[in-house]
Structure 1
Amino acid sequence: MTLGDFADDGLYRDITGFAQDTPAWVRHTAEVWTEAGILVFGALFVAAWWRSRRGDTRAFAIAVLAPVATAVAYVCSELLKSGFTEERPCRAVAGAVPSLAECPPTGDWSFPSNHATIAGASAVALVLVRRAIVWLTVPLALLMAFSRVFVGVHYPHDVAAGLLLGALVAAAAVRLGVRPATRLAGALRGSTAPAVRWLTGPGPAAAAPPAAYAASHRRR
């Protein structure tokens, strides 16, 4: 099955034509960001894990689940690709300007966008870890999705579907996995193995002794 008859060719031509008219530094930035954005989300996952090591067990479990949920979304995207087998627009759209990025080979299908799926899943999963960073993760995900069309390797509907798929799968995966993950994290935090203790962190109890100590001194 393909989506060729429904592809938004005109919008794709408009965006890629606009991309060709932008300054060279804009085109170069888009080419770098469209791939490096995944590394940025990876760094945010590491930061979320590190910060959660001193949080309660449920918060820690969600931080660990976040990249796992993103990986699940990626697998779902790959499965959908094999079912739709939509050709890349950089090869299929007549009259389009050359893509800024190298056009992936035939067999590396277009719908949905894996990059947009990862971006959507990462954005939602990180917000579930800490709601305050929604102002950062959502714009980053939208920029990453748009960049896939800008550099010419995806249709707009590819990235829209990828963002939606990633967001839904990540939210569902975290919701379904949070209880068993919290139980597992609690058990690991009770371990005496130094490596395990370092990975899971001390939890909020680490902050309790100083507070208790200060309270006892105030009573004297």
Structure 2
Amino acid sequence: MAGLAVGLSLMQSRGGSSPDLSLLFDINGLAKDTPSWLDRAISFAGEYGILLAMVLLVLWCWWSVRRRGTAADSVASVAGIVWAPLAAGLALLVNVPIRGFVERPRPFVDHRGIEVLVAGKTDFSFVSDHATLAMALGAGLFVAHRKFGYAALGLALALGFCRVFMGVHYPTDVIGGFALGTAVTLLLAPLALALLTPLVSAAAASDRAKWLVRSKRAPAGPGDRPEPLGLPDPRTEGAGTGPGRNDLAA
């Protein structure tokens, strides 16, 4: 960590031509040529909008997996969906000591000419909380459902671009957030799913909570209902006339 802090400090020197600083000015410089309404739209998306969209995507994924696939598939997918926000919260907690140790100022503090689209940012810059949260949600959703996961990862990348465009983060702040969110989610996923899957299975077997895992309108499949025992149907066995019919009046 000490080496990382030194490296980031060197990147902040005005005399250097680091790729991090160059990319910051290239992306943030776009804000000077875009119309004000677009700047406001990107600022809202980078601060609140994309994260809100990712929350809605998680809910949409949960709603979808309840209505499709087998019961076992629903249990596995819902367990992964539950892990996604838990992983995001855990990644944010891991980031607290990292930010306090590195203590990297926001880019507009050390560099002039930064177009700052969101005022009031006084905390440290590395690692980006927004990037950490978004990528943790994206990686967690990818574990639960590939198609929804790809969409979430795309939103996370878009959020990272917005944070640099807004002038509140260096590109390496965003990359560090992506790495932290991915690492926490994927490295702890086996343990988390091992603990969450039995809980979700218990909910699926409960009359009160099974709707959280499996929709009543979901198509029946293997494991959804008990297999027939092969017993004769009393309504049809021996029906009709013939030598095999028992005549009660005889």
Q: What displacement does 1:128 show? A: 1.2
2:36 pairs, out of 21, 24, 28, with 24
Question: Which residue of structure 1 lines up, in the alignment, with residue 173 of structure 2?
Answer: 158
Question: Which residue of structure 2 lines up, in the alignment, with residue 58 of structure 1?
Answer: 76
1:121 aligns with 2:126: no
The answer as to whether partners of 1:56 and 1:203 remain within 8 angstroms in 2 is: no
Q: What displacement does 1:26 show? A: 2.2
Q: What displacement does 1:160 show? A: 0.8
Question: Which residue of structure 1 lines up, in the alignment, with residue 91 of structure 2?
Answer: 73
2:54 pairs, out of 34, 37, 41, with 41
State the Cα deviation string for residues 71-103 of structure 1 (Å, max 9, x = none). 11122222311111111112121x223311114
1:98/1:75 CA distance change after superposition, 3 Å: same
C-alpha distance in 1 between matches for 2:84 and 2:28: 33
1:21/1:205 CA distance change after superposition, 3 Å: closer
* Percent identity of equivalent pairs: 31
Q: How many residues align?
A: 208
Question: 5+ residue gaps in structure 1?
Answer: 213-219
Q: Taking structure 2 as the reference length, what is the TM-score of the superposition?
A: 0.74
Q: What displacement does 1:153 show? A: 0.4
- Highest CA radius of gyration, 1 or 2? 2
Question: Which residue of structure 1 lines up, in the alignment, with residue 25 of structure 2?
Answer: 13
State the Cα deviation string for residues 138-197 of structure 1 (Å, max 9, x = none). 2211110011010010011100111111112111232221112111111222223x2x23
Question: Which residue of structure 2 lines up, in the alignment, with residue 149 of structure 1?
Answer: 164
1:171/1:203 CA distance change after superposition, 3 Å: farther
Greater shift after overlay, 48-57 or 179-188? 48-57
Q: Could you tell me which amino acid in structure 2 is paired with residue 96 of structure 1?
A: G
Q: Taking structure 1 as the reference length, what is the TM-score of the superposition?
A: 0.83
The answer as to whether partners of 1:103 and 1:153 remain within 8 angstroms in 2 is: no
1:135/1:178 CA distance change after superposition, 3 Å: closer
Question: 5+ residue gaps in structure 2?
Answer: 13-19, 68-72, 228-235, 237-250
C-alpha distance in 2 between matches for 1:176 and 1:96: 47
Question: Which residue of structure 1 lines up, in the alignment, with residue 17 of structure 2?
Answer: none
